[in-house]
Structure 1
Amino acid sequence: MVRTALMLVALAMGLAGQAARADSYIEAPRVAAALEQGRAAELGIGIRKNLLLAVALYCDAGTMGSPEGFFRVGRVLATAPRALRNPALANAYLALAARLGNHEALRYYDPQVANAILGEECGADVDGAAVDHFDLDGYLARQSPAKQKIALLIRHMARQHGIDSRLALAIAMVESNLDPGAVSPQNAQGVMQLIPATQERFGVTRPFDPEHNVRGALAYLKWLSKRFAGDWRLIAAAYNSGEGTVDRYAGIPPYPETQQYVRRVLRFAGYSQRDRSSLGGQDLVRRTERRQAGLLAVASAVERPQ
């Protein structure tokens, strides 16, 4: 008990020194996307409420370096219904968030409960079957008309480029949450977060113009598809970490961020955990083609004025 109280005091002292840094912290586009999508799962905004899915998405944000992501994991675990509530694990994530400068974490920290020991991967104990599905169409239906227009643009242009439109849209959702003005700390820009070198490589001269940006991103995806024989897991990994890194490891690199990135892309594309571990690129394309009638109906609905 004394040890826990002393830890709380230490956390409070550290928090005071880091408050200014937390207040001025700006999340990278991929992090902001995961946080917003996690919030949709937590609150049931456009999609069915799913706290386990919210935890998985918040863990993704935390793994990418977000104190807010770890805070939200802790908050959910501290306040969830009894079946999901885990005060000891909540304390561990809240303590981590506080050490990283999140000034809300101590509001939910319970000094009466000892901290759990965190595993190597955030969310490793989350039931995979419970987080398999993300209703992308439902989520998009609650986005702004401008973002719905960008989603429709991606679907149309992907078909023109011979790219799986569902997966192209999933990458855009993971990269920027369809924000045409997004800029990352590495200077990746626009909807699908192209760095300047990639822009030059694929002829993108107006990276903040959604059509120009998406066209360049799809050209890059088409190039990656040829390089990796249509294996979308490797294509997504290369889009995240570079094709050279995928070549070096002869597969998905052993980086937690990249591994979570691939899982998140394929989850948003509508593939189950079993699909994500067993299907190659061409199988994914064939399954997607069988869904095109439904996607076209959604696209038509998005196209109509609100």
Structure 2
Amino acid sequence: MGCRLSVGRSACLLGAALLAAGSHASIAANDEPAAAERAAVGVIFADHARYLAGVAVAHEHGEGVAREPARAAALYCESARLGNVDAMYALGWMYANGRGLERNDAYAGTLFAMAAFFGHPQADQMRRYTGDYVGAVPDCLQPPPDESLDPGWSAEAHIAALSAQRKQLARLVVDLSAEYAISPRLALAIALTESNLDADVVSPKNAMGVMQLIPDTAARFNVRKPFDPEDNIRGGLAYLRWLLAYFRGDIAMAAAGYNAGEHAVDRYRGVPPYAETQAYVARILAFMQRRKHAYDSRITEPSPVAPALQLVSERGGGS
């Protein structure tokens, strides 16, 4: 929630409570009282973000308080994390002009891209001077890191109940996951959800094998023998690694991309409104019990809507 920023303990605690409330409300998406609660939480988010942006303006210009550009930047950043478009633009402007912060056109480009995505009228024009979003995100906008590969979680506890053949495939998934820097827990979640560890299954859409690779994906990741378990699993893990990089470690978006394709996630700016994909993502998240995963940014450029997807994810949406 960014409580390391100079916003004040009460604002941090309120923001953390709001994020928790938004995440809780998202569980019952089809329940009318829950929908009303989500709407109310959204209003509170917006009001608090607007308040922070107002205080930031005062500190930036010295209006009734001491002029403190660094404090203004911290407040703008916290407001931006809560979805305030004016704060995204204002912080981008500070980075673009080196006002109270070291000039950083890459950070400014990210913030202007975020603001433009949400309809800020001047943001697109500013991007002409700073450049487009290239994956650089200010530290204050980063979610709390979750880089662990599930310490204390045992794959054996999940493998033990499987049949002998599926045990063998599950262990292959877990063993190969390390080569692709993917949590064995996530790799196993995908394999179980895709095929229940059946190396011979073919779906109505011609998705093949353990990781249910369609022909285009198999070709894209150099899978020559899609019904060979190791070749198939390697292809699926390579695609999953790519998706994690593309969606900057967001497990929900990566899972949605695996099921429906990354272009569908980009088009809908979140988990697509397909019943199958939504159920798929819910199952993966229930298995994982977290939303973030380490990723290698060198693998691919980020999704063009990655900044907006991060906001959706942190506010408990998109799943």
TM-score calculated relative to the size of structure 1:
0.45
Q: Pick the structure with greater CA Rg.
A: 2
TM-score calculated relative to the size of structure 2:
0.43
Higher relative contact order (CA 8 A, sep 6+): 1
